[in-house]
Amino acid sequence: MKVLSLNFLSCAVKGCKSSSDSYPLHPKDAELVQDDIEVNAQLLINLLPRIDWTALTTTATELGFPALPPQAPTPEELEADEAKLKDLHHLLMETQIMEGKLVCASCGHEYAVREGIANFLLPSHLV
Amino acid sequence: MEYLIRFSQSHETFRLPETKAIAEVGGIDMKVIYYNPESPYCVVRLPSEEAAHFLMSRSILAQSIHEHWGTGENYEVLHEEVKRKTSHLWPKYKNSSFKFSLDLYQGTRPNKRRVELINSFSYMPFEGEINLRTADEHFVIFEQWDFQAVTRNLPDPLKIHLGRVVGASQRKLIHTFDLKKRDYISTTSMDSELALVTANIALAGPGKLFYDPFVGTGSFPIACAHFGALAWGSDIDGRSIRGDGAKKSLKGNFQQYGLSHLMGEVFVSDLTNSPFRKKRILDGIVCDPPYGVREGLKVLGVRDVEKYDYVIEKGKVMYKDEDFVPPKKPYSFVVMLDDILQFATDRLVDNGRLSFWMPTANDADQEIGVPTHPCLEVVVVCVQVFDKWSRRLITYRRRPDSEVDAAALERWQQRTETNGGVTADELNPFRRHYFNAFRTQAAVDGATLEAVPN
Ligand SMILES: C[S@@+](CC[C@H](N)C(=O)[O-])C[C@H]1O[C@@H](n2cnc3c(N)ncnc32)[C@H](O)[C@@H]1O
Ligand SMILES: [Zn+2]
| Three-state secondary structure readout of chain B | CEEEEEECCCCHHHHHHHHHHHHHHCCCCCEEEECCCCCCEEEEECCCHHHHHHHHHHCCCEEEEEEEEEEECCHHHHHHHHHHHHHHHHHHHCCCCEEEEEEEECCCCCHHHHHHHHHCCCCCCCCCCECCCCCCEEEEEEEECCCCCCCCCCCCCCEEEEEEEEEECCCCHHHHCCHHHCCCCCCCCCCHHHHHHHHHHCCCCCCCEEEECCCCCCHHHHHHHHCCCEEEEEECCHHHHHCCCCCCCHHHHHHHCCCHHHEEEEEECCHHHCCECCCCCEEEEEECCCCCCCCCCEEECCCCCCCCHHHHHHHHHHCCCCCCCCCEEECCHHHHHHHHHHHHHHHEEEEEEEEEEEEEECCHHHCCCCCCECCEEEEEEEEEECCCEEEEEEEEEECCHHHCCHHHHHHHHHHHHHCCHHHCCCCCCHHHHHHHHHHHHHHHHCCCCCCCCC
Q: Which residue from B minimizes the CA distance to A94?
A: B261
In a domain, B241, yes or no: yes
**How many other C-beta atoms are found inside a 10 Å radius of the C-beta of residue B327?**
18
Indicate the number of domains in chain A: 1
CATH of the domain at A45: 2.20.25.10
Report which of B172, B104, B95, B109 is spatially closest to residue B143, judged by C-alpha positions: B104
CA distance B409 to chain A (A): 21
Residues 6+ apart with CB under 8 A from B112: none
Cα(A50) to ligand 2 centroid in Å equals: 22
In a domain, B452, yes or no: no
Which one-letter amino acid corresponds to residue B176?
T
Are B263 and A5 a contacting pair, CB within 8 Å? Answer: no
Identify the residues whose C-beta falls under 6 Å from ligand 1: B 186, 188-190, 213-214, 216-217, 219-220, 235-237, 240, 270-272, 288, 290, 298-299, 454
Cα(B330) to ligand 2 centroid in Å equals: 24
Distance CA B82, CA B72 (A): 9
Asked if B279 lies within 8 A of A42 by C-beta distance, the reply is: no
B125, B141, B170 - which closes a domain: B170
Distance CA B352, CA B345 (A): 9
* pLDDT of amino acid B304: 87
Please name which ligand lies nearest the alpha carbon of A14: 2
Distance CA B177, CA B371 (A): 31
Cα(B214) to ligand 1 centroid in Å equals: 4
Query: Which DSSP symbol is given to A109?
Result: -
pLDDT tens digits in sequence order for chain B, 454 residues long: 999 999 999 999 999 999 999 999 999 999 999 999 999 999 999 999 999 999 999 999 999 999 999 999 999 999 999 999 999 999 999 999 999 999 999 999 999 999 999 999 999 999 999 998 999 999 999 999 999 999 999 999 999 999 999 999 999 999 999 999 999 999 999 999 999 999 999 999 999 999 999 999 999 999 999 999 999 999 999 999 999 999 999 999 999 999 999 999 999 999 999 999 999 999 999 999 997 666 678 999 998 888 889 999 999 989 988 889 999 999 888 889 999 999 999 999 999 999 999 988 776 656 678 999 999 999 999 999 988 888 999 999 999 999 999 999 999 998 887 654 443 334 444 444 444 444 444 443 333 333 344 4
The C-alpha angle with vertex B354 and arms to B352 and B358, in degrees rounded to 5, equals 170
Nearest atom in ligand 1 to B299's CA: 19
* pLDDT of amino acid B423: 39
* pLDDT of amino acid B218: 98
CATH of the domain at B245: 3.40.50.150
Cα(B417) to ligand 2 centroid in Å equals: 23
Indicate the number of domains in chain B: 2
Cα(A109) to ligand 2 centroid in Å equals: 6
- Which residues on chain A are in Cβ contact (under 8 Å) with B326? 121-124
Nearest atom in ligand 1 to B336's CA: 19
Q: Which residues of B43-62 are buried (b: 16+ CB within 10 A; e: fewer)?
A: bbebeeeebbebbbebbbbb
* pLDDT of amino acid B360: 80
Does B165 share its domain with B178? no
In a domain, B404, yes or no: yes
Are B53 and B166 a contacting pair, CB within 8 Å? Answer: yes
In a domain, B268, yes or no: yes
The reported pTM is 0.93
Does B115 share its domain with B249? no
Asked if B300 lies within 8 A of A127 by C-beta distance, the reply is: yes
CATH of the domain at B77: 3.30.2130.30
Q: Which residue from A minimizes the CA distance to B348?
A: A50
Residue spans of chain A under pLDDT 70? none
Nearest CA to ligand 1 atom 11: B214
Distance CA B424, CA B117 (A): 67
Q: Which residue from A minimizes the CA distance to B325?
A: A123
Which one-letter amino acid corresponds to residue A108?
G
Report which of B177, B297, B193, B285 is spatially closest to residue B234, judged by C-alpha positions: B285
The burial of B239, by beta-carbon neighbours within 10 Å (0-12 exposed, 13-18 middle, 19 or more buried), is given as exposed
CA distance A18 to chain B (A): 10
Does B10 share its domain with B92? yes
Going by their DSSP bridges, the two strands B282-287 and B348-361 should be labelled as parallel
* pLDDT of amino acid B443: 41
Q: How many CB pairs under 8 A join A and B?
A: 118
Asked if A124 lies within 8 A of B315 by C-beta distance, the reply is: yes
The H or E element spanning position A45 is: helix A41-47
Q: Which of B242, B277, B423 sits opposite A117 (nearest CB)?
A: B242
Residues 6+ apart with CB under 8 A from B303: B329, B330, B425
* pLDDT of amino acid B387: 84
Which one-letter amino acid corresponds to residue B168?
A
Does B226 share its domain with B141? no
- Which residues on chain A are in Cβ contact (under 8 Å) with B300? 121-122, 124, 127
- Which residues on chain A are in Cβ contact (under 8 Å) with B238? 117, 119, 121
Residues 6+ apart with CB under 8 A from B71: B34, B43, B78, B81, B159, B160, B161, B162
Residues 6+ apart with CB under 8 A from B310: none
Nearest CA to ligand 1 atom 8: B189
Most B CBs within 10 A among A114, A124, A125, A126, hence the mutation to make, goes to A124
Residue B429 belongs to domain spanning: 174-435
Asked if B264 lies within 8 A of A10 by C-beta distance, the reply is: no
Does B166 share its domain with B252? no
Does B179 share its domain with B93? no
Residue A49 belongs to domain spanning: 3-126
- Strands of A53-92 (E only): list them: none
Does B119 share its domain with B188? no
Q: Is the dihedral of CA B369, B373, B374, B379 positive or negative?
A: negative
- Which residues on chain B are in Cβ contact (under 8 Å) with A52? 279
Does B7 share its domain with B96? yes
CA distance B298 to chain A (A): 13
Does B419 share its domain with B281? yes
Most A CBs within 10 A among B203, B230, B249, B342, hence the mutation to make, goes to B230
Cα(B212) to ligand 1 centroid in Å equals: 9
* pLDDT of amino acid B225: 98
Nearest CA to ligand 1 atom 12: B214
Does B221 share its domain with B283? yes
Does B321 share its domain with B210? yes
